[in-house]
């Protein structure tokens, strides 16, 4: 198993396995998101995860350029897209949290669309991991 295969399978599983918790246990998920993960004051863990994420993106690009794995650009770009959310959580925390509150408490339709999109990305990531690599 190569690095890109492992990465795509891990991302796929995370995207797929978190969706049922979000949809079927909304009160518990909301409590976790708003009281633990994204508290009123930006938690310190956000910066640690941000640094880890940045390192993961950098290492993935390094592997893309140094490993001779066909189609490694697919997962490399997918991982790089996580920088969009990470930058919002790190540098626009109040606006990001306001969005999370709105989606979790008032706009469940948007949450359902986000979950559907994440589920499709998760399935695609798993298929890429098992069939492409």
CA–CA gap between residue 18 and residue 29 (Å, rounded): 10
* Nearest to 2, CA basis, from 54, 50, 72, 62: 72
pTM of the model: 0.88
pLDDT band at 29 (very low <50, low <70, confident <90, very high): very high
Domain that holds residue 27: 3-132
- The count of structural domains within the chain is 1
47-75 mean pLDDT: 96
CA–CA gap between residue 88 and residue 97 (Å, rounded): 9
């Amino acid at each position: 198993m190569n690095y890109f295969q492992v990465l795509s399978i891990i991302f796929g599983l995370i995207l797929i396995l978190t969706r049922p918790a979000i949809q079927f246990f909304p009160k518990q998920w909301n409590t976790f998101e708003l009281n633990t993960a994204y508290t009123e004051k930006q938690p310190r863990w956000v910066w640690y995860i941000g640094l880890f994420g940045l390192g993961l993106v950098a290492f993935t690009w390094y592997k893309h350029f140094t490993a001779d794995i066909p189609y490694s650009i697919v997962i490399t770009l997918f991982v790089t897209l996580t920088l969009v959310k990470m930058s919002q959580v790190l540098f626009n925390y109040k606006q990001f949290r306001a969005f999370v509150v709105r989606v979790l408490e008032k706009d469940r339709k948007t949450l359902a669309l986000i979950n559907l999109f994440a589920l499709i990305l998760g399935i695609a990531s798993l298929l890429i991991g098992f069939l492409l690599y």
